[in-house]
Amino acid sequence: MAKRAVLIGCNYPGTKAELRGCINDVWRMHKCLTNIYGFSEKDIIVLIDTDRSYTQPTGKNVRLALSKLIRSAKSGDVLFVHYSGHGTRLPAELDEEDTTGYDECIVPTDMNLITDDDFRQFVDKVPRGCKITIVSDCCHSGGLIEATKEQIGDSTNDHEAPQNNSPSLFHFTNFLHRNMEQQDQEQEEDTIVKNRSLPLSTLTDILKEKSGKEDIEPGKMRHTLFNIFGEDASPRVKKFMNSVISKLQQGRSGESGGHRIMGLVGDLAQHLFEQKLDEDDDHDHDHDHDHDLDHDDERANANATRGGSKKEENAALIKRNLLDCGILLSGCQSDQTSADACPKGNSETAYGAFSNVIQGIMEENDGAVTNRELVLKARAMLKRQGFSQKPGLYCSDSNVNAPFVLN
């Protein structure tokens, strides 16, 4: 049995998005994995943006690291991913269903977003008999693996869901400000607290600075990401742009809707999209043949029922839940922010609130803790410390009380 991990930390030094505790989170997690859970240093990939001698956590590099982690996996292996950095949300497309109404995303250092659907694709490639645990210490991290069952949390459970789920950017921005003010009031005066949410307005400003383009708008973020990153953009973004091209081509053939789509595309020429678009979603797909064929067949059969009766859809969801090997421990709910704390303004002691408490729990229990226990204890500790964020657990029923990290 092999144990492999990818640890990702983004402090975004010198930018409007700068954080202080993310790299510290990574190195403490590295220590926990090696000292407590027996991971070998050679099997841990570290991506950080404060030391050029390490692989930089760009969108492309993060996807490559995750692809490598999964391609190397065999039945019985333990896979672990820890992300510490900013999170953001893109309103879901009008013709798509999403339990939260948004695409939850992590924010690599180059702003090349990785979405919840991208994480779902990665998890679906993990071979049967192998588990992958993802710890995400960023804002809006609830539901970061799309379509994974929520076991502990308030993001998708109907009886606990927030009342105001409008995807309005105005209301969403106001919510972030209120949440941040509350966090500021709750913390001790000598601790500087920032949230790990990147508003679309800030993302837009940073992309303008990095790309030199001034015609970037928050409402056209998928177009922008594709235009800037091309083949290296999120498969989710490329899928969206493929749909845009298809509708554009229909419009040029005389079908309705073409003029509206052309307006969405703006000045970006169609041939630019066609040159950049990667129909295979990810250029690493050539390596996918190593995965368990039965596992893939069962996924395909579950997906094939989509569009059928409600009974068939429910059967597909049950089947997915039974097969799902992904385990997500989120630092907060999908509509919440996670805290980046810096005691006495000293960057050397800065930390992510969620990473800090779960690492403390691991050390205190010498690693002997279940996924459920870890999340519930983290919730209680964060509340005592004055943080309003509520960690979540997303996984199949069989993994709720399974040992954290261990198979």
Active-site annotation, residues:
86, 139
Residue appearing with tokens 């040992």:
403
Where are the strands (E) in 213-323, listed by range? none
Burial class (CB in 10 A: 0-12, 13-18, 19+), 153: buried
Whole-angstrom distance, CA of residue 47 vs CA of residue 61: 8
Please report the sign of the dihedral spanned by the C-alpha atoms of residue 225, residue 5, residue 68, residue 240: negative
406: alpha, beta or left? (left if phi > 0; alpha if psi -120 to 50): beta
Write phi, then psi, for 41 (nearest 5 degrees): -55, -35
Contact 343, 190 (CB under 8 A): yes
How many Cα atoms within 13 Å fall on the side-chain side of residue 67? 17
Contact 142, 98 (CB under 8 A): no
Q: What's the full length of the chain, in residues?
A: 407
Distance, C-alpha 157 to centroid of its chain: 19
3-state SS class at 183: helix
Report which residue type is found at 149.
K
Mode of pairing for the β-strands spanning 326-330 and 392-394: antiparallel
3-state SS class at 136: strand
Write phi, then psi, for 364 (nearest 5 degrees): -65, -35
